[in-house]
Copies of this chain bind each other. A is one copy, B any other.
Amino acid sequence: MLEDKNNQRTPISQLGEFGLIEHLTKNIKLGQESTVKGIGDDAAVISRQADVVEVVTTDMLVEGVHFDLGYMPLKHLGYKAVIVNLSDVYAMNASPTQITVSLALSNRFPVEAVEELYEGILTACRIYGVDLVGGDTTSSQSGLIISVTALGEAKKDDLVYRNGAKENDLLVVSGDLGGAYLGLQVLERERQVFQVNPNSQPDLDAYTYLIERQLKPEARKDITELLEKLEVKPTAMIDISDGLSSEILHLCKQSGVGCVLYEDKIPLDPQVISTCEEFEMDSTTVALSGGEDYELLMTISMEDFPKIKANPDFTVLGHITEVAAGTQLITRAGQQMELIARGWNSIKED
């Protein structure tokens, strides 16, 4: 975990809670105009322009449930903890502006480990132009828990909810699906190989895209910018954190509509296809249920189709139907099946 840091292990108790926070946050630069006051008081202070509304979202990542430090470097974990929240902000067609981060850490984590985690958090803040304005750091009795809350803003009329999909709208997704889930399978397999033979040299060249999708996901800021440029306002939007099928069902339920999804339209990276073959997994199942892709799933009006059709960032997956028609998957063989939610569910028997 710390091999590149000369194995320095400064116990957190040496700095104390306030010392640690000061140490981690002393170099934070605030860039958002709306941030009046960041870390250092009872609360941060934010001043919005009169013509915007604010969005707020929160996500918690728990060791052993959402990540395994056996293959998730702390810097990547910090980065990902921010990204999963920013993705929710973009899914409202809003721009993230501030985050707060709360950490619970057991005493097996030295100061150097928290520094790595913060390096990832602050890298994400820098790349996405977001201010870290507050947080809490405490001890835990066992694992590591990261709770991030993200604030963002948008003009009220620009917001896109989950409930606006209309009959005949097109069902559109950004990027490609299934990569993050397969990346996890590859990492899990490599770890098992390593446990059997610690001298094995993993050759991960065939999986670089998948591993990056798992360890260093990005939030689709570019897609919301592109939509603005193309003058397309989706009728509904949601980010894909739990898998395509689960998100389609949310969107259809909240919009009171049905949909038809065509299996042969689901965008898959070549590495997803080849790795599914190698792992003897069905690529459609992986895309439908895998989750953690952080792509944006949206519905757009038919009249906006010409604006997106030539764009490789968008794939039309199907269309919205009346609610009575249900949520249907049309397979490559032309068979019709009811979509079911098999998204990755973090509430499970453990």
Are the C-beta atoms of B42 and A57 separated by less than 8 Å? yes
Assess whether B89 is in contact with A43, with CB atoms less than 8 Å apart: yes
Partner of A57, one of B43, B54, B137, B346: B43
Counting CB contacts under 8 A, is A331 at the interface?
A: no
On chain B, the residues within 8 Å of A137 by CB distance are 347
Whether A133 is near chain B, meaning CB under 8 Å from some CB there, is: yes
Binary contact readout A102-123 vs B (1 if CB under 8 angstroms, 0 otherwise)? 1110110000000000000000
A141 in contact with B350 given A45-B92, A149-B100 (CB within 8 Å): yes
A42 to B321, CA, bound (A): 23
Query: Which residues of chain B are within 8 angstroms of A338 by Cβ–Cβ distance?
Result: none
Question: How many copies of this chain sit in the oligomeric assembly?
Answer: 2
Contact A54 B58 (CB under 8 A): no
Is there a chain B Cβ closer than 8 Å to A208's Cβ? no
Which residues 136-166 of A have a CB within 8 angstroms of B? Answer: 136-143, 145, 147, 149-152, 156, 159, 161-163
CB distance A134 to B43 under 8 Å? Answer: no
Q: Which of the 9-residue segments A10-18, A197-205, A270-278 touches chain B?
A: A10-18
Given contacts A17-B345, A147-B102, contact A55 B45 (CB under 8 A): yes
Kindly provide the distance from the CB of A316 to the nearest chain B CB, expressed in whole angstroms: 22
- Max chain B C-beta neighbours (<10 A), residue from A47, A50, A346, A347: A347
Q: A285 near B: Cβ within 8 Å?
A: no
For A57, the chain B residues whose CB sits under 8 A away are 42-44, 100, 134
Task: Check: A188 CB closer than 8 A to any chain B CB.
Answer: no
Q: CB within 8 A of A91: which of B36, B42, B54, B107?
A: B42
Q: Which residues of B contact A64 (CB under 8 A)?
A: 140-141
Q: Are A141 and B44 in contact (CB-based, < 8 A)?
A: no
By the criterion CB–CB under 8 Å, are B88 and A43 in contact?
yes
- Known contacts A40-B254, A60-B104; is A139 also within 8 Å of B47 by CB? no
A11 to B163, CA, bound (A): 30
B62 touches A53 (CB 8 A): no
Interface hits, A223-251 → B, CB 8 Å:
237-239
Q: Mark A61-72, 1 if CB is under 8 A from B, else 0.
A: 011111000000
For A138, list chain B residues within 8 Å (CB): 60, 62, 65-66, 346-347
A→B interface (CB under 8 Å):
11-13, 15-17, 20, 36-37, 40-48, 50, 53-60, 62-66, 88-89, 91-92, 94, 98, 100, 102-104, 106-107, 133-143, 145, 147, 149-152, 156, 159, 161-163, 237-239, 254, 345-350
Can you list 23 A-B pairs with a CB-CB distance of less than 8 A? A13-B348, A15-B347, A17-B345, A17-B347, A37-B161, A40-B162, A42-B238, A43-B56, A43-B150, A45-B54, A46-B55, A46-B56, A56-B98, A56-B149, A57-B100, A57-B134, A58-B136, A58-B147, A60-B145, A137-B347, A139-B350, A142-B143, A145-B147
Known: A12-B347, A41-B254. 18 other contacts (CB 8 A): A20-B347, A36-B53, A41-B92, A42-B57, A42-B89, A44-B55, A45-B55, A45-B159, A47-B53, A54-B54, A57-B134, A59-B136, A60-B147, A62-B138, A65-B138, A104-B145, A136-B147, A141-B142
